[in-house]
Amino acid sequence: MSTTEKATAPTVPDYPQTLGHPRPLWMLFMTEFWERFAFYGMRWALALYIVAEFFHGDPAGQGFASRTYGAYLALVYAAAVFGGYVADRIIGYQRSILVGAVVMAAGLFMIMLPDERIFLLGLSTVIVGNGLFKPNISSMVGRLYSVGDARRDRGFTLFYMGINAGALVSPLVTGWLASHFTDMPMQQNYKAVFLASGVGMLVSLVWFWIGRRQLGPVGRPAPEQAGRLRVVYVFLGCVLAIPLVFFMLGGGFSELVARALLDMGAIKPTVIDGAINYEKTLPAATVRAWVLGVLFVGLSALLLVEGFREGKVQRDRVFAMLIIFVFNVLFWMFYEQAGSSFNFLAQNIVDREMFGGWVFPVGWFQSVAPLSLVLLAPFVSLAWGWLDKRRMEPSIPRKFGLGLIGNALAFVVLMYALSELVDSRHLIPFWPLVMVYVLQTLGELCLSPIGLSMVTKLAPVRLVGFAMGGWFLSTGIGNNLSGIFAGHVSGETGMTVASALSGFTFSFWLLAGAGVLLFVIAPLINRLMHGVK
Ligand code: PHE
């Protein structure tokens, strides 16, 4: 370690060890488990609830519901950038997590109220709260390990398992609640879903409130950040940010952009039934792609400025991190077909009839990924440890390459099934889609926890939270592109065997190409990392 690094690297207290890791890891694990319980417990119900409650079940509401849902996910990731910055520069990590948890819980209780405006305000509140919570709890994990500690990637893999345990359990619980607490068999009780999520978030808050003493000084505000007044400012900032997010969430923002561009004559209007259709004129997803892109450029610039300020080593490390972020976008763009095109595939092209005529529900495929993640995570964690002992643990870019290749292999299975296994009813068997989810998960485990870990190693110390926000933002950009890509696979008339085959073949080549490229340029990226492994 150079002297400047020694000066800036935060010291790690002598934590008691539990199961081979610093004890606070398990506290962070449980805090994040409950937060993800809240997040994923209600996510599945959002679009369904919008149609049921605000459109009285009219399918015409599906467009609005999907757009709102897409905007919600994109904004949740984008908010992480601001949340990370608040922790770095304004109130420190622990207090950001606490404020985030309070705000998020408030939002979850707000969405229970049957008024469209309050509902959207509630979602905006969840977004702001999550922005303060999610990146910062991840950064805390990194602070438990000293600079050269080889257990860091494994710690993050375990933490990631907590994330997915929450994601796995909660839809089962809330799904059951929704169908149990209702007198009308066709109508789900979404209030029960939101209530359970809100309670989950309170558990997360209390867990961290009590458990944070274990952390000692780590994540406490720096001397110049101390004082309660700053927390008040952050709360005020949240209150101001919520209407802004609300404006973007409700589609008001993309319509405003469309109007401005129409006025300038930069785009042509699409007129339907005598009125301009703004969504067809300029899709909200396109506006979002630009907003997220601009945010990403701004973030990269700020990180680079800090990198340059700290000298050559830090500058190179920021470059390496940003290069990896770009590959991360690709990974999630295709991974997230799970939320879109794979469901159309499951619904229309996969033979889901089981023994005795029972039909496997489309929604259940969503559990395959988190379930395989929880089952596979300990093995991947062990594998890194085993390889490390033999001095064979792959470098960060190579792990990323493996992640992309795992994702690519999932598409090979689909290419094979869609070209060789189509039966006379134009259906493919059940098992290829299950394998797709398992292979994607294997890829995810090589890439996603390693990405979190990497940020805590490569980011300038003063901006770790902000950089973590950038990591989530890159995932969000991938998610947003995934919807645009899925739209192309389905086209105007819906997915067919032919359109699926061509879309998924394209996905394979892009992922495999990127994965191999990373393998080849890994030594170069490693050089930019200056000894970080
Ligand atoms: N399951 C992951 C999580 O909720 C998905 C994800 C990956 C989200 C990367 C953001 C960034 O954390």
pLDDT tens per residue, range 477-521: 999 999 889 888 888 788 889 999 999 999 999 999 999 999 999
Judge whether 173 and 41 are in contact, CB under 8 Å: yes
> What is the rounded CA–CA span in Å between residue 375 and residue 159?
14
Reported as a pLDDT band with limits 50, 70 and 90, residue 250 is confident
- 261 has a pLDDT exceeding 90: yes
3-class DSSP assignment, residue 21: strand
Q: Given a cut of 70, is residue 8 above it in pLDDT?
A: no
Q: What confidence tier does 210 reach under pLDDT thresholds 50, 70, 90? A: very high
Contact 154, 385 (CB under 8 A): yes
**Which letter, b or e, does each residue of 161-193 get, where b requires 16 or more Cβ atoms within 10 Å of its Cβ?**
bbbbbbbbbbbeebbebbeeeeeeeeebbbbbb
Enter the tokens of residue 166: 């929450």
Residue 2's pLDDT band (cuts 50, 70, 90): very low
Q: Which atom of ligand 1 is nearest to the CA of 451?
A: 9
pLDDT digit string (tens) for 71-88?
999 999 999 999 999 999
Per-residue pLDDT band for 59 (boundaries 50, 70, 90) equals confident
Cα 190 to its chain centre, rounded Å, is 23
What DSSP character marks residue 222?
Answer: P
What per-residue confidence (pLDDT) applies to 390?
A: 93
Kindly report the backbone phi and psi dihedral angles of residue 426, in degrees, each rounded to the nearest multiple of 5, phi listed first: 65, 35
Instruction: For residue 433, give the nearest of 387, 374, 366, 479 by alpha carbon.
Output: 366
For residue 134, report the distance from its CA to the centre of ligand 1, in Å. Answer: 9
Task: Report CA-CA distances (Å) from 407 to 222, 332, 460.
Answer: 41, 9, 30
DSSP-assigned letter for residue 52: I
Q: How far is the CA of 457 from the centre of ligand 1 (A)?
A: 19
Residue 437 has phi, psi (to 5 degrees) of -65, -35
How far is CA 335 from each of CA 159, 278, 343, 349, 390, rounded to the nearest angstrom? 20, 29, 13, 19, 31
Q: Find the radius of gyration of the CA atoms of the chain.
A: 23
Q: Which residues pair with 21 in a beta bridge?
A: 18
Mutate which of 141, 448, 479 for ligand 1? The one with the most ligand atoms within 8 Å of its CB, which is: 448
Is CATH 1.20.1250.20 the classification given to domain 20-227? yes
Q: Which amino acids bring their CB within 6 angstroms of ligand 1?
A: 36, 163-164, 167, 448, 472, 475
- Is pLDDT above 90 for 101? yes
Residue 10 DSSP one-character state: P
- C-alpha distances in Å from residue 199, one per residue of 5, 9, 49, 204, 261: 43, 37, 19, 9, 44
Residue keyed to tokens 């926890």: 449
Q: How far is the CA of 65 from the centre of ligand 1 (A)?
A: 22
C-alpha 330: how far from its chain's center? 13
Tell me the average pLDDT of the chain: 92
| Domain locations along the chain | 20-227
Rounded Cα–Cα distance for residues 482 and 69 (Å): 14
DSSP bridge pairs for 22: 17
pLDDT reported for residue 6: 43
> According to the model, what pLDDT value does residue 186 have?
62
* pLDDT (0 to 100) of residue 1: 44
Can you say whether the dihedral through the CA atoms of 97, 376, 200, 343 is positive or negative? positive
- pLDDT tens, position by position, 41-53: 999 889 889 988 9
Q: Residue for token digits 């992922």?
A: 511
Q: What percent of the chain has pLDDT over 70?
A: 98
Ligand 1: centre distance to CA 167 (Å):
10
pLDDT of residue 5: 47
Q: Which two tokens stand for residue 423?
A: 């039966």
* Alpha helices (H) along 423-463: 431-458
* Average pLDDT rounded to a whole number, residues 164-188: 85
Distance separating alpha carbons of residues 68 and 122, to the nearest angstrom:
13
- Which position has the higher pLDDT, 147 or 466? 466
Averaged pLDDT for residues 189-214 = 96
Residue carrying structure tokens 């996603």: 448
- E strands, 268-417, where? 271-272, 275-276
Q: Which two tokens stand for residue 195?
A: 């209530």
Percent of the chain with pLDDT over 90: 76
Q: What element of type H or E holds 152?
A: helix 152-180
From 77, 335, 475, the mutation candidate for ligand 1 (largest count of ligand atoms within 8 A of CB) is 475
Give the pLDDT score at 185: 63
pLDDT of residue 213: 96
Q: What backbone phi and psi angles, to 5 degrees, belong to 22?
A: -55, 135
User: Ligand 1: which of 163, 330, 374, 480 to mutate, most ligand atoms within 8 Å of CB?
Assistant: 163
Are 141 and 21 in contact, with CB atoms under 8 Å apart?
no
Q: What mean pLDDT is predicted for residues 414-423?
A: 96
Among 326-330, 386-390, 413-417, whose mean pLDDT is lowest?
386-390
Neighbouring CB atoms inside 10 A of 269's CB total: 16
C-alpha dihedral over 519, 523, 525, 528, to 10 degrees?
Answer: 170
The two tokens of residue 201 are: 């978030």
Q: Whose CA is nearest to atom 6 of ligand 1?
A: 475
* Cα 371 to middle of ligand 1, angstroms: 15
Q: What's the rounded Cα separation, in Å, for the pair 75 and 73?
A: 5
Least confident of 6-10, 14-18, 112-116, 480-484: 6-10
DSSP letter for each residue of 171-211: HHHHHHHHHHS-SSTTS--HHHHHHHHHHHHHHHHHHHHHH
Bridge partners, 272 (sequence order): 275
Measured from the CA of 39, which atom of ligand 1 is nearest? 4
